Structure 1
Amino acid sequence: MRRIQPYVNSLRFKFFAAVLVIFVPLVTVLVINNFYSVDVVRNQVAQSNKNMLGLYMGQIDQRLEEVDKYLTNTLESNLSILDMEFPKSRDADRYNIAKLTLFNTMRDDLGYYPTLDAFFVYSSVNRDLVLSQTSPDGLEARENARDEILKMLEKEAGTIDYSRWYVWSGAKGDYLFHLMKSGNVYMGAWISSDKLMVPLNLIDLGESGAAVITTDDNKPISHDALIKDKGIDLKFPDESYAISGKGKDTYLIMGEKSQRGNFNLVALVPEKEILQKLPYLQRISSIISFAAVMFLFLFVFMMRRIFLNPIKRIVVAMRKLRDGNWDSRLDQKPKSTEFQIVNETFNRMIAEIHDLKINVYEEKLNHQRAELKHLQLQINPHFFLNSLNIIYNLATVKDFSLIQEMAKCLVSYFRFMFRSNSYFVPLGDELSHTSNYLRIQQLRFPEVFQYRVDKPVNLLEQEVPPLIVQTMVENTIKYAVNMDEPIQIAVEVSQTEDAAGNPRLVIHVKDTGPGFPDEVLDRLALDLEQAGSENGEQIGIWNARRRLRLLYQERATIDFYNENGLGAVVRIEIPMDRKAG
């Protein structure tokens, strides 16, 4: 919610909200009116065509019903049908007379059914077909019809419902047929689908529209190329219409199912031709809707260019300033006079603030440099008196070899101290100096403690503040080493990552002594500036913490704790980007 509130309260949001409140209702009403008008026209066209299909399908079903009655009466009353049930060899003359009688009867009666192409009778016992056709176009046409009927009988006889008409897709065309059976005799009617479609083809369904006969599973028996090319799905609802097609070539699909057979009549009406019949005022409404939308985009574009973009640039520049980017400036692009004045004033103000910030920052840096040098000077003389005392003691016992080693170690020690005026030194040099310091202390306290200093090769070039490790080791020797029990001191170096994946250097200074007392841990957990200034103790620790804070601000840490039964641990963690923020 807090993230959303600034956006909702912004000038940009309020501007767009005001524009949308004005334009959206207007455009919505126009669009709804447009879609409503289109839907009304679609419904009117669909209803008109569906009524036409229902009327024509009713006529077809009525004619098919008359044919069905004829077939039923003939099978029941014509005695010649009985003669066709027996093998021809039983009485050839009687069989032939029955065939001739049936042929003449069907030929005479076929004229009363102009829709039909043929009547036929088939004796399954004799595998003999009696076929009567209307005006066949030559011998080849008659033979083609005979072949298709025989194929149909071979495939469909005995497997279909004898009370229904069915679609037959032949090699030369598509047909409707109806079979009835009496004993071993089949009688049927045969209609070309082209003859059924003649009245529908006269109806104006548009230049690319069509009327189609489909099977009960919506498979077309005509206009295959049109349906495949336009991607039309011929499924249709019983009481309404469907819309199908690809892209702009969409069609209204209306259909009517036959009550007498397993076929449908389907009308395909191009939608683009329907919409051409919209009233003139409806077209005006569409144009107004389109113009309103275009005006809205143009208005928003102009206001964005003239008003919102300059404000956005000012807001972006202010955010950069908030993030500390003081080089941010506003471009002097051609714009309104008011924004030119704002931009010029903003740039001049930022330049003045930038100069003032640089001066303050440089003064702060100079103060930090002086403070760092002062802190390092506090460390340099700390070891001087103890070193002289060690050499004096060795001279007293005349141990010249140890005097030589001690002198060599002290030379290395003070050489490092004299060059430690810089803010950073390589980790390898700091660890070598710490090892040298530990060796001096080992010579001072022989057989009292041992030490180990890890020097990972991949981290030796990483730069660290000088004397940061040696100070912790010196503090450990001061408070942990005694003459009663031996102790071991270890310096361990490793690398880790913070939550953001940035590399960090980790240094552990461990000892096997008794650990930090509870009151010391409590004091070290407080502000070390106060802890080190109350009684003069932990000056080295306060010094190290102060230098890390000056160099790294809050990105470096020093932690103090005891490991269970293992002694005290000092953990130093600093970023590996060398410089402070």
Structure 2
Amino acid sequence: MRKIRTYVNSVRFKFFAAVLVIFVPLITVLIINNFYSGEVVRNQVAQSNKNLLSLYMGQIDQRLEEVDKYLSNTLESDLNVLDMEFPKSRDEDRYNIAKLTLFNKLKDDIGYYPILDAFFVYSAVNKDLLISQPPTDSYEARENARQEIQKVVENDADTIDYSRWHVRSGANGDYLFHLMKSGNVYMGAWVGSDKLMVPLSLIDLGESGAAVITTGDNKPISHGALFEDKGIDLTFPEATYAISGKGKHAYLIMGERSQRGNFNLVALVPENEILQKLPYLQRVSSIISIAAVMFLLLFLAMMRSIFLNPVKRIVIAMRKLRDGNWESRIEQKPTSTEFQIVNETFNRMIGEIHDLKINVYEEKLNHQRAELKHLQLQINPHFFLNSLNIIYNLATVKDFSLIQEMTKCLVSYFRFMFRSSSYFVALGDELSHTANYLRIQQLRFPDLLHYSVDKPNDLLAQEVPPLIVQTMVENAIKYAVNMDEPIRISVEVAQTEDEEGHPRLVIHVKDTGPGFPGEVLGRLALDPEQAGSEGGEQIGIWNARRRLRLLYQDRATIDFYNEAGLGAVVKIELPMEKKAG
């Protein structure tokens, strides 16, 4: 949430927001206006073609209705049809006369119906087909019609709806036919689809537009594969239009259903040709919309290069400075004069601050070194007095071998204490010094103090602060050794890893004494930095913690606790890395 608030309050966000507030409504209005204009043109074209389809379909239905009335009247009132219901063998002459009379009647009457290609009568009991066609048709056309009608009356006569016209796609073309039945006689009319399409050819549907006849379920009676390949669905709504197909094959689909038969008239108008008919002003509006979008993108790109990127480089450099990277500088790239001045001034200012910080840091480091040296030289004066007292007592009893050993241990002890002002020593040297110190204390408390110092060979070269282990051992002797019962002090060294896998040196100083008092542990846990002041009882602990703080900051720890059945335990953890002295 904070990142979101920061981004919203940034110059980048406010700049883009201002630009979008200005340009987006303008572009939106232009796009809506252009889209609305396209919709208006589509609706006008669709409505115009819809009206023409309705007019043509009305004319077709009217003519088909006239044919239906003629077929119905002939079946009901013509006695010749009645004679064809009976077998020809009963009275062949009468049957032939009726057939000839009916043929002449249909031949004369078909001229009144120019839409028709044929009238036909079929006697089912005699399997005899009578066809009357206009004399203008060629022999081939009449023969093709006869073949198709023969298939209809022989194969489909008993399965079709006698009340409506039907669409049929034959081997020699597409047809409409209507079949009626009276007893054993079928009578019908036959129309080629090309005659129905003649008026539709006068409609301007564009160069790639078309008009087709479809079945009642919107399937084209011809060229079905072509429409399927182009992804064109000929389903149309009743009152408006549909859009089908994609890209250059997108069409407006308008249609009109026949009231007399199971077929439709469908018109397809290419959408791209419709939009070309937009008024000049609307086309200019489209160009303006596109130009506005391009100008917006160009404007944003220019502002990004001239204004936003220089600001971004300044912000990135300042963030690096905030994270402590004082080597960060603003990259010098070609930019405006004002930003060049800002960048140069910023880089020069950061350089001066960096130099000043180095001087301050060195001054602080010198102060820490002086403080660390002072802490190293803080030596318990009682140790000197007790050591001299031990030598005096040994001289009294004339134990020269112990006097020599004691003197040698003291020499080693003070040589280590007054060695060069190193901030780090090898762990092996620190452990040897600690063992030497324990030996001196053992001579002071014979038979009361026992000790062991672990010295793993693979860790002896690791560097540690001087006197850090000896200080904890000295604290254990001070508070754990008494004259009543013997005590054992052990120093254990091991290596471990932290949560990130970095190696750490772990040193345990343990004793078998009574352990830390509860109030002492409480002070150490609540306020470890001030657990003991320079005038307090825990001066050694304060000294050690202060030195670790100066040398390692917060990467080193000292923990104090009591271990059940053992006594006091001091745990020191240090990062395993070498330091320069």
**1:39 matched residue in structure 2:** 39
- Once the two structures are TM-superposed, the CA of residue 200 in structure 1 deviates from its matched residue by 0.9
Change (3 A) 1:182 1:348: same
**1:278-289 correspondence to structure 2 within 5 Å:** 278-289=278-289
Whole-angstrom distance in 2 between the partners of 1:124 and 1:469:
126
Whole-angstrom distance in 2 between the partners of 1:83 and 1:564:
129
Report if aligned partners of 1:209, 1:269 keep a CA contact under 8 Å in 2.
Answer: yes
Change (3 A) 1:511 1:432: closer
**2:49 matched residue in structure 1:** 49
Whole-angstrom distance in 2 between the partners of 1:233 and 1:349:
73
Report if aligned partners of 1:75, 1:187 keep a CA contact under 8 Å in 2.
Answer: yes
Change (3 A) 1:528 1:144: same
Whole-angstrom distance in 2 between the partners of 1:122 and 1:336:
97
**1:319 matched residue in structure 2:** 319
Residue 117 in structure 1 maps to residue 117 in structure 2? yes
**1:205 matched residue in structure 2:** 205
Residue 219 in structure 1 maps to residue 186 in structure 2? no
- Once the two structures are TM-superposed, the CA of residue 531 in structure 1 deviates from its matched residue by 0.4
Change (3 A) 1:310 1:120: same
After superposition, the C-alpha distances for 1:107-131 in whole angstroms (9 at most, x for unaligned) are 4333322222233344555555444
Change (3 A) 1:331 1:115: same
**Stretch deviating more after TM superposition (343-352 or 482-491):** 482-491
**2:60 matched residue in structure 1:** 60
- Once the two structures are TM-superposed, the CA of residue 278 in structure 1 deviates from its matched residue by 2.0
- Once the two structures are TM-superposed, the CA of residue 373 in structure 1 deviates from its matched residue by 6.4
**1:92-241 correspondence to structure 2 within 5 Å:** 99-124=99-124, 128-134=128-134, 135-139=136-140, 141-152=141-152, 156-224=156-224, 227-228=227-228, 230-241=230-241
Change (3 A) 1:295 1:445: farther
**1:29 matched residue in structure 2:** 29
Report if aligned partners of 2:468, 2:544 keep a CA contact under 8 Å in 1.
Answer: yes
Whole-angstrom distance in 1 between the partners of 2:196 and 2:173:
13
Whole-angstrom distance in 1 between the partners of 2:384 and 2:149:
126
Report if aligned partners of 2:434, 2:473 keep a CA contact under 8 Å in 1.
Answer: no
Q: Which amino acid letter does the alignment assign opposite residue 553 of structure 2?
A: Q
Report if aligned partners of 2:116, 2:190 keep a CA contact under 8 Å in 1.
Answer: yes
Report if aligned partners of 1:496, 1:506 keep a CA contact under 8 Å in 2.
Answer: no
Whole-angstrom distance in 2 between the partners of 1:462 and 1:88:
129
**Stretch deviating more after TM superposition (141-150 or 353-362):** 141-150
Whole-angstrom distance in 2 between the partners of 1:240 and 1:436:
105
**Stretch deviating more after TM superposition (302-311 or 316-325):** 302-311
After superposition, the C-alpha distances for 1:507-526 in whole angstroms (9 at most, x for unaligned) are 59598988765423321222
**Stretch deviating more after TM superposition (527-536 or 252-261):** 527-536
Whole-angstrom distance in 2 between the partners of 1:549 and 1:418:
22
Whole-angstrom distance in 1 between the partners of 2:218 and 2:259:
16
Q: Which amino acid letter does the alignment assign opposite residue 293 of structure 2?
A: V
Report if aligned partners of 1:430, 1:467 keep a CA contact under 8 Å in 2.
Answer: no
Percent of aligned positions that are identical: 74
- Once the two structures are TM-superposed, the CA of residue 348 in structure 1 deviates from its matched residue by 1.0
Q: Which amino acid letter does the alignment assign opposite residue 40 of structure 1?
A: V
- Once the two structures are TM-superposed, the CA of residue 423 in structure 1 deviates from its matched residue by 4.8
- Once the two structures are TM-superposed, the CA of residue 543 in structure 1 deviates from its matched residue by 5.2
- Once the two structures are TM-superposed, the CA of residue 360 in structure 1 deviates from its matched residue by 2.5
Whole-angstrom distance in 2 between the partners of 1:142 and 1:263:
24
- Once the two structures are TM-superposed, the CA of residue 349 in structure 1 deviates from its matched residue by 0.6
After superposition, the C-alpha distances for 1:170-189 in whole angstroms (9 at most, x for unaligned) are 33333333333344544333
After superposition, the C-alpha distances for 1:406-460 in whole angstroms (9 at most, x for unaligned) are x99xx9xx99x9999565979xx799989989x99999999999999999x9x99
After superposition, the C-alpha distances for 1:22-73 in whole angstroms (9 at most, x for unaligned) are 3333333333322222222222111111111111111122222222223333
Q: Return 5+ residue gaps in structure 2 as ranges.
A: none
Whole-angstrom distance in 2 between the partners of 1:17 and 1:56:
57
Report if aligned partners of 1:506, 1:571 keep a CA contact under 8 Å in 2.
Answer: no
Residue 75 in structure 1 maps to residue 75 in structure 2? yes
Report if aligned partners of 1:523, 1:531 keep a CA contact under 8 Å in 2.
Answer: yes
**Stretch deviating more after TM superposition (15-24 or 50-59):** 15-24
Whole-angstrom distance in 2 between the partners of 1:551 and 1:508:
17
**Stretch deviating more after TM superposition (361-370 or 306-315):** 361-370
Q: TM-score normalised to the size of structure 2?
A: 0.75
Report if aligned partners of 2:510, 2:570 keep a CA contact under 8 Å in 1.
Answer: no
Q: Which amino acid letter does the alignment assign opposite residue 5 of structure 1?
A: R
Matched residue SS, 1:206: coil
Whole-angstrom distance in 1 between the partners of 2:360 and 2:44:
82
Report if aligned partners of 2:424, 2:466 keep a CA contact under 8 Å in 1.
Answer: yes
**1:543-562 correspondence to structure 2 within 5 Å:** 545-554=545-554
Matched residue SS, 1:233: coil
**Stretch deviating more after TM superposition (225-234 or 314-323):** 225-234
Matched residue SS, 1:3: helix
Q: Which amino acid letter does the alignment assign opposite residue 264 of structure 1?
A: N
**Stretch deviating more after TM superposition (263-272 or 470-479):** 470-479
Whole-angstrom distance in 2 between the partners of 1:364 and 1:73:
124
Change (3 A) 1:481 1:447: closer
Report if aligned partners of 2:164, 2:178 keep a CA contact under 8 Å in 1.
Answer: yes
- Once the two structures are TM-superposed, the CA of residue 250 in structure 1 deviates from its matched residue by 2.8
Change (3 A) 1:305 1:89: same
Q: Which amino acid letter does the alignment assign opposite residue 277 of structure 1?
A: K
Matched residue SS, 1:111: helix
Whole-angstrom distance in 1 between the partners of 2:111 and 2:273:
41
**1:271 matched residue in structure 2:** 271
**Stretch deviating more after TM superposition (526-535 or 191-200):** 526-535
Q: Which amino acid letter does the alignment assign opposite residue 22 of structure 2?
A: I
Change (3 A) 1:168 1:548: farther
Change (3 A) 1:42 1:471: farther
Report if aligned partners of 2:117, 2:133 keep a CA contact under 8 Å in 1.
Answer: yes
**1:247 matched residue in structure 2:** 247
Report the count of equivalent residues: 564
Change (3 A) 1:102 1:12: same
Q: Return 5+ residue gaps in structure 1 as ranges.
A: none
Whole-angstrom distance in 2 between the partners of 1:90 and 1:490:
134
Report if aligned partners of 2:431, 2:453 keep a CA contact under 8 Å in 1.
Answer: no
Q: TM-score normalised to the size of structure 1?
A: 0.75
After superposition, the C-alpha distances for 1:280-315 in whole angstroms (9 at most, x for unaligned) are 222333333333333333333333333333222222
Matched residue SS, 2:198: helix
**1:532 matched residue in structure 2:** 532
Change (3 A) 1:347 1:180: same
Report if aligned partners of 1:255, 1:267 keep a CA contact under 8 Å in 2.
Answer: yes
Matched residue SS, 2:335: coil
Q: Over alpha carbons, which structure has the higher Rg? A: 2
Change (3 A) 1:84 1:317: farther
Q: Which amino acid letter does the alignment assign opposite residue 203 of structure 2?
A: I
Q: What value does the CA root-mean-square deviation take over the aligned residues?
A: 5.2
Whole-angstrom distance in 1 between the partners of 2:489 and 2:526:
28
Change (3 A) 1:496 1:351: closer
**1:362-381 correspondence to structure 2 within 5 Å:** 362-368=362-368
Whole-angstrom distance in 2 between the partners of 1:154 and 1:475:
124
Q: Which amino acid letter does the alignment assign opposite residue 202 of structure 2?
A: L
